[in-house]
Structure 1
Amino acid sequence: MRLFDTKPRGVPFATGADVPLTLRAQGSFFIGGRDIRSDALSAVPAYAPSGTVVVDQVYVRFAVPAAVGGPPLVLVHGCCLSGQAWETTPDGRPGWDEMFLRAGFPVYAVDQAWRGRSGAGIAPAANGDGPLPTVFSAGREDAWTVFRIGPRFPEPYPDTLFPVDAVGELWKSMVPDFFYALPTPNPTVPALSALARRLGGAVLVSHSQAGLYPFQAAEAARDGIAALVALEPAALPDPAGDLSAFRDLPVLIVYGDHVAASPRWAPRLALARAFVAAANAAGGRAELMSLPERGIRGNSHMLMQDRNSDVVAELVAAWIGRERPHGAGGAAGRPIGGA
């Protein structure tokens, strides 16, 4: 199945792990970060409380397929999760990073700043003085409804496509979240800008809490940003604001099912519709993809982990192929590293 006008091409998203996956390169690196001096680094007598540490860095795990057939994708996870959310599904199927690799896309999956493998110090992000930063962990009872697995814990929607029998693996993957301790824009935003520039034409793919970050990166500078894909973004730019940054920029916003019944997500879907209309009126190339409106029912908030995650990935890949984002693929086949 051919997804792009360029060669070489990848393999279908439904292809299983029994087909060998050949890579040109893989690895990891950090991008961004800054040094701070703190007198509150340690409460352990064996380690000095004063010293200099790095904060705001972003961990990037990358893989480049041997046969590159699409632009590099940067995958940015949402609340209470890490880049692991893209690596595999709770029931053990390939995650989006493997699916897109098999289809010919170089994939760069990040951990947000102060999250997961990006690290989180106990020194406050601002200057190392004062109380410990605000941090929270989301309980499964709230996550169940926020992720729209079901209307109330532990009852699933009858048609849910989330792999409920394996939900315990999702709970294991959730990590402490420093979101409320960090400035606006989140330090992840300039890191995304730097990564896009280095890749020379990347599609930034965000989910939920991170939904706004690629839009903020594009508002700061369009260099290296070929397109934006936002899976159920928790926030978007103000439709009544200046949207000139999105002129001629391909933008896809994807929403799953049972949104109307959610006091949290129904207003956000309405905002997405308003943003798409306003962005296009300002010369944009924005599209809202509502899966139920396409006859695809039962998707949760965790679109990349639902049982039809390959179908959703295929729709996203087909959109990228149709849009053929300007400038995509400048460094698609070249691994990068360094800050």
Structure 2
Amino acid sequence: MRTIRSVLLPAAFVLPAALTLLSPAPSGAQELKDFGSFHVGGRQVSLSGYPVTESVFTQGAAPTRVDPNGDFEVEQMYVQYLVPAPQASKYPLLMWHGGGLTGTTWETKPDGKPGWMNYFFKAGHPVYVSDAVERGRASWARYPEIYKTPPFFRTKKEAWEIFRIGPPDSYATDPAKRVMNAGMKFPVEAFDQFGKQFVPRWTSNDAITQTAYHALVQKVGPSVVMVHSQAGNFGFHAALAAPDKVKALIAIEPAGAPLPGPELDKLKGIPMLIVWGDYVGTEAVWTRQQPASVNFARDLNARGGDVEWLDLPKAGVTGNSHMLMMDTNSDQIAGLIQDWMKRKGLMN
């Protein structure tokens, strides 16, 4: 059942199915011109008045005095970058992950195959993969002294079902008893390996995360931004805040979008591609979330914007989970995105 897709967008807004005839996937070795990492954003917080304790940090060692009072750097973001030579794209590609995940989303897939960081690097893009505020190498801050709400931890059942690998109530602790959606392209034999990527998330940190993304865009400069899931809203608002810097936006199953209205006029000069996978109508989370990006695209296009909608099943690309950059046909999808960037004049 895919009732949402039957009322998505007028045909003029939809990426042509003919684009499934792709140029070949990038091959051969790119020269690595530069690589590195940095932290961006954040602020200093000073704590005082908390009790001093003792703790043993290494088995057999003497207790160590622990003083939680002092100055801390918090709310920063971590970014890793790879710059190819020659560079085929006009702008760097910033890759922003979803909720409860890190930049690992874009790196090596759970089944050990190269991810989209590798794909787009080989296609000639400088790639910047971030761990957002509170995630991975960006690090946490103390709770409740700095973060005001407790963290949430994703179960494997939630991921299996919300990421549409299987239908509702199809997860089982025993991998042999799990039921997947028909034709599923996620490498289910690597699902437990995928579960090792899950990290805690906080519901109270959207504003500070958005601030860090703004700082990243300002630091890197004119860029193409690729967002997934929770990062969708961050990407749209980053474009609203810096329409001179965000040269294009690629939204992979965005969980939310700005409300229709005159503020969207700021985005009319930014080409956008919104991509959705399969089984959307089978999971209540997405039947609630997807209309936000539908309404956003309709309103922005009515204002003279340039939003294309790629419904993968309608384009003949079926079986994709919410983690479509990890699915076994993910290079085919990356090729569609790469061809869109060529059409939009984003390549040299």
Could you tell me which runs of 5 or more consecutive residues in structure 1 were left unpaired when the two chains were aligned.
1-10, 330-339
Could you tell me which runs of 5 or more consecutive residues in structure 2 were left unpaired when the two chains were aligned.
1-22, 55-64, 172-177
Letter in 2 for 1:37: S
Letter in 2 for 1:172: K
Structure 1 residue 142 and structure 2 residue 158: aligned? yes
Question: Deviating runs (4+, > 4 A) in structure 1?
Answer: 40-44
Compared CA separation, residues 43 and 146, structure 1 to 2 (3 A): farther
Letter in 1 for 2:195: W
Structure 1 residue 28 and structure 2 residue 37: aligned? yes
Over the matched positions of the two proteins, sequence identity in percent amounts to 38
From 161, 166, 172, the counterpart of 2:196:
172
* Cα distance in 2 for residues equivalent to 1:117 and 1:300: 26
The secondary structure found in structure 2 opposite 1:97 is helix
The secondary structure found in structure 2 opposite 1:278 is helix
Structure 1 residue 181 and structure 2 residue 204: aligned? yes
Q: How many residues align?
A: 307
* Cα distance in 2 for residues equivalent to 1:207 and 1:260: 19
* Cα distance in 1 for residues equivalent to 2:50 and 2:97: 28
* Cα distance in 2 for residues equivalent to 1:219 and 1:197: 13
Structure 1 residue 89 and structure 2 residue 101: aligned? no
TM-score by length of 1: 0.85
TM-score by length of 2: 0.83
The secondary structure found in structure 1 opposite 2:196 is helix
Mark the structure with the bigger radius of gyration.
2
* Cα distance in 1 for residues equivalent to 2:133 and 2:279: 31
* Cα distance in 1 for residues equivalent to 2:345 and 2:219: 19
Residue 41 of structure 1 contacts residue 123 of structure 1 at CA under 8 Å; is this kept in 2? no
Structure 1 residue 274 and structure 2 residue 286: aligned? no
Q: Which residue of 2 aligns with 1:110?
A: 130
Deviation digits for residues 239-270 of structure 1 (CA, Å, limit 9, x no counterpart): 24631121121111100000011111123223
Structure 1 residue 287 and structure 2 residue 299: aligned? no
The secondary structure found in structure 2 opposite 1:138 is coil
Compared CA separation, residues 223 and 242, structure 1 to 2 (3 A): closer
Q: Which residue of 2 aligns with 1:13?
A: 25
1:215-294 matches, cutoff 5 A: 215-240=236-261, 242-294=263-315
Deviation digits for residues 10-68 of structure 1 (CA, Å, limit 9, x no counterpart): x94363xxx43420001100111100112388875222121110111100000001110
Structure 1 residue 39 and structure 2 residue 48: aligned? yes
Compared CA separation, residues 32 and 41, structure 1 to 2 (3 A): farther
* Cα distance in 1 for residues equivalent to 2:148 and 2:288: 33
